[in-house]
Chains A and B, each alone.
Chain A
Amino acid sequence: NAGVTQTPKFRVLKTGQSMTLLCAQDMNHEYMYWYRQDPGMGLRLIHYSVGEGTTAKGEVPDGYNVSRLKKQNFLLGLESAAPSQTSVYFCASSYVGVTTEAFFGQGTRLTVV
């Protein structure tokens, strides 16, 4: 039982390049989230999904897109990376919604140069 797995763990991008971060969970969770973590800023919600085929904007959605084509996967895309998107990205999932425990992936450290 792997829980929540993020791919890749580390990545360096040049400004303007694109990439996709993959989050996979094997717990049959309905809700999935993408957060970014920056020093002194805590965990800020980028986008989230309440079920297969649904997505919604969080606190800081600009510059990111997401897709939830399969229940177990939640993809985060950067179409044109900017240095301001240098951060650690965490995916999380929860079973019945926001009033139960969220399980986090191991994080992806992204550097945009």
Chain B
Amino acid sequence: GENVEQHPSTLSVQEGDSAVIKCTYSDSASNYFPWYKQELGKRPQLIIDIRSNVGEKKDQRIAVTLNKTAKHFSLHITETQPEDSAVYFCAASMRRDDKIIFGKGTRLHILP
């Protein structure tokens, strides 16, 4: 089955700097790659996603890139703000498998 690896497990960046979180997946048939943000004590919520027919997608300060050949995708957050502090999860899924498999998460700390 699909396996998703996520790095780093913890990331601290100065407010205003950029943050990058990377994920790799194992099954080349995966075609949907969402990113979820989970604030402390809250439920995970989708912040951005990308499909396998697209190489990059951007939404304001957040962008996701996908390299299908290398089977990895990354989340980029620019001009980080205190409210970006949270745990971020990447995930991968494919229609034939009916499962969404998550990475282990990255705890992002934005330092003042």
A42 touches which one: B6, B42, B45, B93 (CB < 8 A)? Answer: B6
Once A90-B43, A101-B46, A104-B44 are accepted as A-B contacts, the answer to whether A42 and B98 lie under 8 Å apart by CB is: no
Asked if B43 and A98 sit within 8 Å, CB to CB, the answer is no
Set of chain A residues within 8 Å of B42, measured between Cβ atoms:
106
Contact B44 A90 (CB under 8 A): yes
* 6 examples of A-B residue contacts, CB within 8 angstroms: A48-B98, A98-B32, A98-B95, A98-B97, A99-B93, A104-B43
Residues in chain B near residue A45, CB distance under 8 A: 99-102
In A70-113, which residues have CB < 8 Å from any B CB?
90, 92, 94, 97-102, 104-107
A: number of interface residues (CB 8 Å): 27
How many residue pairs at the A-B interface have CB separations less than 8 Å? 62
A50 at the interface (CB under 8 A from B): yes
**In the assembled complex, B104 has its CB within 8 A of some CB on chain A:** yes
Q: Mark B69-96, 1 if CB is under 8 A from A, else 0.
A: 0000000000000000000010001110
B100 touches A42 (CB 8 A): no
CB distance from A75 to the nearest CB of B (A): 19
B98 touches A97 (CB 8 A): yes
Q: Does A43 contact B (CB under 8 A)?
A: yes
Partner among B1, B6, B31, B46 whose Cβ is within 8 Å of the Cβ of A99: B31
